[in-house]
Amino acid sequence: MGFSDCGIAEADAIDEDEYPLDEWLSRGCQADMHYMERNVAMRRDPRLLVDGARSVISLVLAYKPDCQIESKAKIAQYAYGEDYHERLKRMMYQLIAKIKYKYPDFEGRPFVDTAPISDRHWAVRAGLGWIGRNTLFVHPYYGSFCFLGEIVTISEIENTKLKIEDSGKGCGDCRLCVEACPNNAITVSKSGVPMLDARRCTSYNTIENRDDALPEELDTRGYAFGCDICQLVCPYNGQSPTSYHLDDERKTQLERLAGADEATFRRFAKHSALNRIKYPQWCRNLRKASEPRGGDRKTET
């Protein structure tokens, strides 16, 4: 179907030590993403999402582009191409159809960041990689430039597991992402699990934050949609292969968005990840991106 990798995990509950969601919420790290406060139990246990679930098929689609846009208004690379929700969902339905052709009794529900299920943790459970210090899922070959999706099924399928600590992989002592974040958004839980404070994160603020103005102290380093800073410094991403060709026409369209009127922006964003924001937010983000770069900040953990 075109996926980069896949794995399978048993559908059971994820505990607080593995996924410190309660602590993350109690700290207020969700900012205004109040939907994260709902269905907490379901986020931990796919059996509450799909009745009778026995297996979670985790799918990876790498998206590292072969070039970056040249613009004063930077855009996170995951938004260069087609909206990943549409692309992955289409691919997963095709995969389900192929499986059902061979196994007619197979039933599965696809999820792409649109339901209360933790993509990162199920990719780890399936042995595909680990959660990096930047809180993102890291694949040992493709790095963190990966889209994730799941097919939750009532079928019992042999699991795939990889013990990162036994494979020589993982972040080790590397702290490049922590040190590179200009807003000190990367922290840790009480048990040492990587944790992101959305209130400080450029990606959260340029996408999820609906206020008329962004926080005065926020340093976006020129990003007007999302942020890739913690990913660009990651050694795994530095050595990972490119997986997406950004053609000249698309590149030009992206670079011209900084000067686009509302109709042009809405037309381009319709089938792009940029459809997550409205034109007034885009203009707000552009104003912030044009501000002088902030000074170096002391790293916190």
What SS3 string covers 145-172? Answer: CEEEEEEEECCCCCCCCCCHHHHCCCCC
| Catalytic pick among 15, 113, 173, 228 | 113
**pLDDT tens track for 153-205:** 999 999 997 655 544 468 999 999 999 999 999 999 999 999 999 999 999 99
| 84-103 confidence digits (pLDDT tens) | 999 999 999 999 999 999 99
State the pLDDT at residue 169.
60
R_g of the chain, CA atoms, integer Å: 19
pLDDT at residue number 300? 43
Here the tokens at position 272 are 């792009």
pLDDT for residue 294: 52
Residue 113 bears catalytic tag: yes
Q: What is the pLDDT of residues 121-140, one digit of tens each?
A: 999 999 999 999 999 999 99
Are 41 and 50 a contacting pair, CB within 8 Å?
no
Mean of pLDDT values over 92-115? 95
Distant-in-sequence contacts of 64-69, Cβ < 8 A, 24+ apart: 64/142, 64/143, 64/145, 64/237, 64/240, 64/241, 64/242, 64/243, 64/244, 65/242, 65/243, 65/244, 65/245, 65/246, 66/242, 66/244, 66/245, 66/246, 67/246, 67/251, 69/246, 69/251, 69/254, 69/255
